[in-house]
Amino acid sequence: MAQYLDDVSRTFSEYLLLPGYTGEDCVTDNVDVSTTITRYRGSEPEGLKLNIPLVSAVMQSVSDDRMAIALARQGGLSFIYGAQSIENQARMVKKVKDYKAGFVLSDSNISPEATMADAVALKKASGHSTMAVTEDGSAHGKLLGVVTSRDYRIGKMDPATRVREFMTPFDKLIYAREGVTLSQANDMIWDHKLNALPVINDSQQLVAFVFRKDYESHKDNPDELLDEKKRYMVGAGINSRDYKERVPALIEAGADILCIDSSEGFSVWQQKTIEWIRENYGDSVKVGAGNVVDGEGFRFLADSGADFVKVGIGGGSICITRETKGIGRGQASALIDVARARDEYFEKTGVYVPICSDGGIVYDYHMTLALAMGADFIMLGRYFARFDESPTDRLIINGQYVKEYWGEGSNRARNWQRYDMGGASKLSFEEGVDSYVPYAGPLKDNVEMTISKIKSTMCNCGVTSIRELQKNARLTVVSATSIVEGGAHDVIVKNNGNQNLG
């Protein structure tokens, strides 16, 4: 007969943390929320790390290059969605890596024979007001000048005016030579009161720009997630179908870590994908796998060589896998089980394989619960979809600003590879919905608030690191009545919106 588990399938809302002793040193400024995201042996240095334990989901409506840059600024990581052509995904990865090297590859280039109308259109398309004027209009052509929005006046100049007539020519530019250090370049920017400093080689070809705003951005965002070359870090999603073509392109583009994006990871297809990566790249390419909901699934992927394992099936806000297939497990129960298996695996093998909680987050405090239950980091879709930086449109629905949000298993995404069971190359039925989420504004403001809440709760628990939280947290199951007690009750809540008090 079928096997039955004795435990109830529980969600985060069914648990609360108990406070611990808070000492004098347990203040939010002392709390470290950095976390490891790739496997390591106990005697070796830990693997890749995040400065905050948040990553954005491998979803079309969440993670593109703009989201990746914004999240890396705050110390997290995006996994750029894979339900697109290999070329487009690799291009997004490269945009992130080129964006923040201190030395930025120019993506707004124009030829001297182009017109003011061309310059205006380029600014609108790229969002950048500084344009390099190169002989052939390419990013590495011979630099002839620079155009900024201060060099032309819309409505006062003929749109057909050639760029060469209003650009700042090369002989009037302040520039640096290839080989200049970032510190030296920033000194030149400040000494000459520049917004952008072009860097050229001995043949006068453009190499890169250094921007004042990047220097100031780093001062405003001290937790930026950077690689050894001072570039933003970025992940990318892959599938178990075209990985032999997709992985090389993503690695060439500079992806720091990959993630097999699948609704269910306890499969031979993921094993084959990881094996191919190990055979061709060894341990140099980092790849996570999943999703699983129990210790058996975790051990399978850990033994297969996954660098991290994602936990959760059917708990996403737009996921209907449980409804359509009856597969899954309450996210809290799944996470507790897998975390126990992760710790046992570490004790047995000496290899620590981080786990990522994916799904089931409704409130910010659920994130702290997930970390306390053993998650090393958390993958979020709906949370990030609400922000300015997500790739979807902002709309007004019933007088409220919203952003579009759809699942990878929806007909809109048609990401059949994510639900691949080795059959036909198509999506047989939907496992996700097309929806809206309330618009929440800029990512930076929201993430800073969320991290403040996590740190504050950790102080209440008497811990100052995620590892301490996992070791020392005390949790209790709550009844339905106590859940009601935990919110505002037995009062008339004031409406703080605009009211007609006449």
* pLDDT exceeds cutoff 60 at 429: no
User: What does the pLDDT read at residue 482?
Assistant: 76
Confidence of residue 229 (pLDDT cuts 50, 70, 90): confident
Segment 242-246 shows an average pLDDT of 97
User: What does the pLDDT read at residue 492?
Assistant: 78
* pLDDT exceeds cutoff 60 at 430: no
Give me 106's structure tokens.
């120019």
418: annotated active-site residue: yes
Segment 346-361 shows an average pLDDT of 96
Least confident of 71-85, 230-244, 312-326: 312-326
Quick one: what percent of the chain has pLDDT higher than 70? 89
* pLDDT exceeds cutoff 60 at 60: yes
User: What does the pLDDT read at residue 439?
Assistant: 95
Segment 473-479 shows an average pLDDT of 95
User: What does the pLDDT read at residue 431?
Assistant: 55
Confidence of residue 350 (pLDDT cuts 50, 70, 90): very high
Give the single-character DSSP code of 325: H
* pLDDT exceeds cutoff 60 at 432: no
Confidence of residue 413 (pLDDT cuts 50, 70, 90): very low
Q: For residues 311 and 318, which has the higher predicted lDDT (pLDDT)?
A: 311
* pLDDT exceeds cutoff 70 at 18: yes
User: What does the pLDDT read at residue 28?
Assistant: 96
Contacts of 460 (CB under 8 A, 6+ apart): 17, 19, 20, 22
User: What does the pLDDT read at residue 428?
Assistant: 43
User: What does the pLDDT read at residue 499?
Assistant: 42
Q: Which of 39, 386, 418, 459 is catalytic?
A: 418
User: What does the pLDDT read at residue 100?
Assistant: 62
Q: Which of 319, 356, 459, 461 is catalytic?
A: 319
**Model pLDDT for residues 252-273, shown as the tens digit of each residue:** 999 999 999 988 899 999 999 9
Q: For residues 214 and 151, which has the higher predicted lDDT (pLDDT)?
A: 151
- What is the CB-side half-sphere exposure of residue 340 using CA atoms within 13 A? 10
Spatial distance between the Cα atoms of 234 and 251, rounded to a whole number of angstroms: 11
User: What does the pLDDT read at residue 386?
Assistant: 95
Three-state DSSP state, 85: coil
User: What does the pLDDT read at residue 477?
Assistant: 95
**Model pLDDT for residues 197-207, shown as the tens digit of each residue:** 999 999 999 99
Confidence of residue 480 (pLDDT cuts 50, 70, 90): confident
Q: For residues 30 and 6, which has the higher predicted lDDT (pLDDT)?
A: 30
Closest alpha carbon to 307 in 241, 407, 227, 377: 377
299 close to 346: Cβ distance less than 8 angstroms: no
Confidence of residue 128 (pLDDT cuts 50, 70, 90): confident
User: What does the pLDDT read at residue 213?
Assistant: 78
* pLDDT exceeds cutoff 70 at 316: no
Quick one: what percent of the chain has pLDDT higher than 90? 71
Confidence of residue 473 (pLDDT cuts 50, 70, 90): very high
Contacts of 35 (CB under 8 A, 6+ apart): 49, 50, 53, 354, 376, 377, 466
461: annotated active-site residue: no
Give the single-character DSSP code of 88: H
Closest alpha carbon to 9 in 293, 230, 212, 398: 293
* pLDDT exceeds cutoff 90 at 440: yes
The terminus-to-terminus CA distance of the chain in angstroms comes to 69
Confidence of residue 156 (pLDDT cuts 50, 70, 90): confident
What is the residue type of 236?
A: A
Average pLDDT, the chain: 89
* pLDDT exceeds cutoff 80 at 23: yes
* pLDDT exceeds cutoff 70 at 29: yes
Confidence of residue 427 (pLDDT cuts 50, 70, 90): very low
* pLDDT exceeds cutoff 80 at 165: yes
User: What does the pLDDT read at residue 408?
Assistant: 66
From residue 71, how far is each of 40, 63, 76, 295 by CA, in Å?
A: 25, 10, 5, 31
User: What does the pLDDT read at residue 214?
Assistant: 74
Strand partners, 146: 132, 168
Segment 431-441 shows an average pLDDT of 80
User: What does the pLDDT read at residue 374?
Assistant: 98
